[in-house]
């Protein structure tokens, strides 16, 4: 498994291909009326805190440009999200390229081809917009003396969330690539996970979880490049892909979003709530 790390220039709309597809797309009007085009933009989100933050950023940034928008929550499943976009139950939504590729069983051998391979898998169903610099790649952390996954003893206890447990670069990858088989405990609450790490366990956090940035933690190196990047991108309903305001707002946000921004908003959201934390950040960092 190669590390999915890439450096590409900004493209507003990477892929929008019309052709036959496996899912049966709902019938839509080929030429929406002017009134319909000004209907509130429906921004899809899941219960994942990072998805919720980015969706709220989309919605509030659109509102600042005079476009009504609201967030609608769906299941954390890419197939479901694509179907909701096709049905017009959402217009745009943040997603994560590596996670989406796994859900859709996309065979992407080359890291630089991940987004284009995902776009090909969604050919004719939704538009795939170029990623931001937000990356949910896993970090393995410890408060002990270890510095590398190569040195992980088999009698270790490793704590991660449910998504990590089923990830190719989770326990399965550790066993296949590092021959490491620690005792695995699923702890979905990130604060509880951090407490277990401070008590001696090794922890897995994604790059947007504030708890994984705790100053007491050491990030274990990955010399065999097991960990895959999981860059954040946007999926958009095809009928929305000609909306210049929506495209421009997402482009502007993706140009400035990275893990530090998301972590900062999530930390503030723990006190203020997501909406207020996003409002605060946008007030301090107005888009051009």
Q: How confident is the model at residue 126 (pLDDT cuts 50, 70, 90)?
A: very high
- Domain 138-219 fold: D-Maltodextrin-Binding Protein; domain 2 (3.40.190)
Please provide residue 140's backbone torsions phi and psi, each rounded to the nearest 5 degrees.
-100, 125
In the predicted structure, residue 13 carries a pLDDT above the cut 60: no
**What is the C-alpha separation between 153 and 144, in angstroms, rounded?**
12
List beta partners, residue 158. Answer: 184, 202
- Domain 40-135+230-284 fold: D-Maltodextrin-Binding Protein; domain 2 (3.40.190)
pLDDT for res 107: 83
Q: Where are the domains of the chain?
A: 40-135+230-284, 138-219
pLDDT for res 153: 83
List beta partners, residue 142. Answer: 218
Segments in the chain forming alpha helices (H)? 34-37, 49-64, 78-86, 97-103, 114-121, 162-165, 171-177, 190-198, 244-256, 259-272, 274-284
Over residues 218-235, the pLDDT tens digits come to: 999 999 999 999 999 999
Task: Please give the average per-residue pLDDT across 261-265, as a whole number.
Answer: 98
Contacts of 69 (CB under 8 A, 6+ apart): 40, 41, 42, 43, 58, 59, 60, 62, 63
What value does the mean pLDDT of the chain take?
87
pLDDT for res 33: 40
Identical topology for domains 40-135+230-284 and 138-219: yes
């Amino acid at each position: 498994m190669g590390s999915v790390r890439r450096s590409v220039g900004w493209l507003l709309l990477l892929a929008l291909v019309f052709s036959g597809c496996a899912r049966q797309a709902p019938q839509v009007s080929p030429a929406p009326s002017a009134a319909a085009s000004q209907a509130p933009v429906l921004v899809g989100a899941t219960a994942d805190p990072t998805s919720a933050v980015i969706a709220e950023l989309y919605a509030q940034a659109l509102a600042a440009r005079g476009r009504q928008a609201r967030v609608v929550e769906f299941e954390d499943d890419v197939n479901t999200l694509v179907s909701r976009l096709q049905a017009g139950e959402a217009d745009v939504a943040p997603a994560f390229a590596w996670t989406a590729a796994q859900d859709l069983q996309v065979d992407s051998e080359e890291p630089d081809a991940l987004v284009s391979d995902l776009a090909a898998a969604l050919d004719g169903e939704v538009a795939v917009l170029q990623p931001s610099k937000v990356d949910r790649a896993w970090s393995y952390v410890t408060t002990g003396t270890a510095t590398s996954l190569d040195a992980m003893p088999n009698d270790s206890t490793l704590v991660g969330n449910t998504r990590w447990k089923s990830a190719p670069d989770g326990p399965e990858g550790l066993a296949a690539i590092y021959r490491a088989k620690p005792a695995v405990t699923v702890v979905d609450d990130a604060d509880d996970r951090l407490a277990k790490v401070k008590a001696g366990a090794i922890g897995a956090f994604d790059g947007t979880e504030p708890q994984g940035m705790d100053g007491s933690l050491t990030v274990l190196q990955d010399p065999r490049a097991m960990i895959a990047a999981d860059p954040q991108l946007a999926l958009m309903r095809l009928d929305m892909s000609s909306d210049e305001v929506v495209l421009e707002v997402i482009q502007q946000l993706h140009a400035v979003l990275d893990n530090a921004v998301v972590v900062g908003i999530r930390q503030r959201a723990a006190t203020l709530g997501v909406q207020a934390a996003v409002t605060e950040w946008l007030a301090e960092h107005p888009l051009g």
